[in-house]
Copies of this chain bind each other. A is one copy, B any other.
Amino acid sequence: MAPNQKAEKQHDLLPYKGKIERFIEPCLLLLLAEKPAHGYELIEPLSQFDFEPNVDPGQIYRTLRRMEKHGFVVSNWETGKAGPARRRYQLTAQGEGFLTSWIKTLTKRVQMIEKLLQRYDQIMER
């Protein structure tokens, strides 16, 4: 096929972020494994995982609800306390299993990246 200069619709390439798809899921599950919490309360601890750009609260709530639909967490409304009602989430046994599979996936990802990094080091040595 001959060279061709059609317009390109896709992304402009920069900025590249190298984000990990749905990384928020294992982060949320881990935090809930440590202790039950409501969404708002998870914003700050989540930010410790260095999300860039900053963690989107909307995404937290959506992800929690989604995971609840799949039985990975359960929630109950907590009134009584000060301020508006909060939905308190707890990890389920299923959720633990899901976290475990996430851990396996992430371990593989690290290996993938390490492989590339090592190969990069090799060509840099020359």
As a 0/1 sequence over residues 98 to 111 of chain A, the CB contacts with chain B under 8 angstroms (1 = contact) are 01011101111111
Measured between beta carbons, the chain B residues less than 8 angstroms from A62 are 10
In this assembly, does A53 line the interface, its C-beta being within 8 Å of a C-beta of chain B? Answer: no
Q: Are A123 and B18 in contact (CB under 8 A)?
A: no
Measured between beta carbons, the chain B residues less than 8 angstroms from A82 are none
Number of interface residues of A (CB under 8 A): 54
- Nearest Cβ on chain B to A99's Cβ, whole angstroms: 7
**Restricting to A1-24, which residues have a CB under 8 Å from any CB of B?**
1, 3, 8, 10-11, 13-14, 16-23
A29: nearest residue on chain B (CB-CB)? B120
Task: Report A's interface with B, CB cutoff 8 A.
Answer: 1, 3, 8, 10-11, 13-14, 16-23, 25-27, 30, 33-34, 48-50, 62, 65-67, 69-70, 77, 84-85, 87, 99, 101-103, 105-117, 119-120, 123
